[in-house]
Amino acid sequence: MTTAATHCPYCALQCAMTLRRVDGAVTVEPREFPTNRGGLCQKGWTSADLLDHPERLTGPLLHGRPVSWDEALDFVAAGITRTQQEHGRDAVGVFGGGGLTNEKAYTLGKFARIVLRTSTIDYNGRFCMSSAAAAGMRAFGLDRGLPFPLADLGTADAILLAGGNLAETMPPILRHFAAGNLIVIDPRVTATAARATLHLQNTPGTDLALANGLLHLAVAEGLLDSDYIAARTTGFEPVRATVASYWPARVERITGVPIEDMVRAVRMLGGAGRAYILTARGAEQHAKGTDTVSAFINLALALGLPGNRGGYGCVTGQGNGQGGREHGQKADQLPGYRRIDDPAARERIAGIWGVRAEDLPGPGPSAYELLDGLGTATRALLVFGSNPVVSAPRARHVTDRLRALDLLVVADLVMSETAAIADVVLPTAQWAEEDGTMTNLEGRVIRRRKLMDPPEGVRTDLDILAALGDRLGVAVLAEPEAVFAELGLASSGGAADYAGITYDRIDAETGVFWPCPDPGHPGTPRMFEENFATPDGLARFVAVEHRPPAEDVCEEYPVYLTTGRVLTQYQSGAQTRRVGRLPGELFVELHPDLAARLGVAAGEPVTVSSRRGSVTAPARVSETIRADTVFLPFHWAGVNALVNPALDPTSRMPEFKVCAVRVEKP
């Protein structure tokens, strides 16, 4: 093969690209597609650089020593068997990733439940979209990040984006945003906020209060869609009573957002013919993230947007963040977005997998709880598509727990920080070396197409799981199209129904939107136009109250820390930090007033300390951040060691986006 029409390996926009291989060198060209419209960002343009990178893993390692695949896999299988015999089935865990293909996510969940028969499985998507997913489920009865195509944003007269910096995280998406209609909520004047018509620069951790305050103003300004509320929703009166106490002066004191800016935002949304409200990690990665998203959904419902004259959506982050949470690698799920504690779902999936329903394990611990229990409740862990040494909250503690394991197995393409402490490292194929499907942020199922074979000594994740299954006595499919066909069968009748989607159909179309229950179904680009996925078809308002961060500022730690991404880097940086054409370094962004109090000039080292650890990096002095806040990009080791692992009670999302810190000269 010399060309392959595929998609970028990074974010959930999944930009279309064509790969060309000439004399062993692979080049990237953007491809016209409804999502990226022929555009790529720097990460996409340089994505092929890792295919022949000198740090590429090309053979299994056992305690740092090169070994054959048979020796490595035999060691892993023996370790799994021994651990489960001595400590029980749940003592072996699996930790997956939101960048794995649908086929891998499905197989990982199946492998855990029928090969290992363990309940101990979760994935790093718990750290990404889980709050929005939980809020969407309780409001709409269904979670699909964007329940409408991206192109619909181009029809909007107003868009509210809470906690997202799309100009840096997924730049081509901005091709769908018209000029003059964007409202951004963010503690920093990001590249996205700088493009906005209106920027609401709130104190970190106050998005919920701001959303309630905006709804209070919508009531006061007479902007509610009363007919829509009456016909298509339930539960509004408790919400109206709750937001009555969020009068503008109170919300201004909590959030720091001027009253006149709140009024302007509400009038832009309420006066628009079509409007959309979007949330992203800045609003969601909190110990009250689910309630925060519910507050923004309440605003969208009160204005009559979802399925009517606009909508609400979550801007999914990881490459397969949507598909990754649908098919079973999440602790409480079975394929098709079914609950693992639903007896009917257990019977159906057990029948497809050829096991008894009573032999399927129940729900397991969420991601942070799983990692926190390593070395005690969990004695062996298999990691696919994740780098928790960098990405997990309270990361130094998590690293200590990983080191306490009897057996740590990491499948990766480079020696990530997590692979570096593993007992066994298994080299895996990259996106251009395998077939599969991804589900982008719109719920559009698309094809990842293979350009070339992986290097000698490297296997795909599916091959690795199948080989382990053989050694443990349970057959596991390894051919991607066969896995996808079984995934379609297993998802049939579920909320995320892929039964009518095939590789051939995706090839013939520009992807297929789920739910798509049969081959004759056109797919579902736009959801909720007639009914919501609740028993009575009505959307649910949910009354929610603001509460301070789990860890607020104090005399000892008087400054807020917030974290996020930067243009040239992606997630834990294990890939992008190795690409020479993607410059970047760790920095501390702080306001000139704070820098002056510290006596720090731009470029000088600054130490940021929380109750959990500290990190030192060069100062980047900028008026684009609040004077009471500092910002750190989380792509480098040490940053997430500072953040608070306090968990949202519903989604189990850790509070990545705000904690109290002390800032000083080292």
pLDDT digits (tens, 9 = 90+) for 62-107: 999 999 999 999 999 999 999 999 999 999 999 999 999 999 999 9
Q: Is pLDDT above 80 for 1?
A: no
pTM surpassing 0.75? yes
Contacts of 253 (CB under 8 A, 6+ apart): none
Q: 3-class SS at 280?
A: coil
Q: 559 - beta bridge partners?
A: 661
Q: How far apart are CA 140 and CA 202, in angstroms?
A: 28
How remote is the C-alpha of 257 from its chain's centroid?
A: 28
The fraction of the chain above a pLDDT of 90, given in percent, is 98
For 138, list phi and psi in degrees, rounded to 5. Answer: -80, -20
- pLDDT of res. 180: 87
Q: pLDDT (tens digit, 9 = 90+) per residue, 257-266?
A: 999 999 999 9
Q: Are 33 and 176 in contact (CB under 8 A)?
A: no
Q: Are 629 and 204 in contact (CB under 8 A)?
A: yes
Q: Which residue is associated with the tokens 């940086």?
A: 573
| Through-space distance between the first and last CA atoms of the chain, rounded to whole angstroms | 54
- pLDDT of res. 160: 98
- pLDDT of res. 129: 87
At residue 128 the predicted structure's pLDDT band, cuts being 50, 70 and 90, is: confident
DSSP state of 171: G
Task: List the alpha helices (DSSP H) in 174-288.
Answer: 191-195, 207-220, 226-232, 236-243, 248-255, 259-270, 281-284
Mean pLDDT of 323-330: 93
Task: List the alpha helices (DSSP H) in 366-414.
Answer: 367-372, 388-391, 395-403
Q: 409 - beta bridge partners?
A: 382, 424
Helix 207-220 and helix 248-255, axial crossing angle in degrees, nearest 10: 160
- pLDDT of res. 333: 95
Contacts of 482 (CB under 8 A, 6+ apart): none
- pLDDT of res. 317: 85
| Domains of the chain from N-terminus onward | 3-50 (2.20.25.90), 61-127+320-478 (3.40.50.740), 130-315 (3.40.228.10), 559-664 (2.40.40.20)
Q: pLDDT (tens digit, 9 = 90+) per residue, 178-211?
A: 888 999 999 999 999 999 999 999 999 999 999 9
Q: 30 - beta bridge partners?
A: 17
Q: pLDDT (tens digit, 9 = 90+) per residue, 32-49?
A: 999 999 999 999 999 999
Q: Which residue is associated with the tokens 């959307």?
A: 539
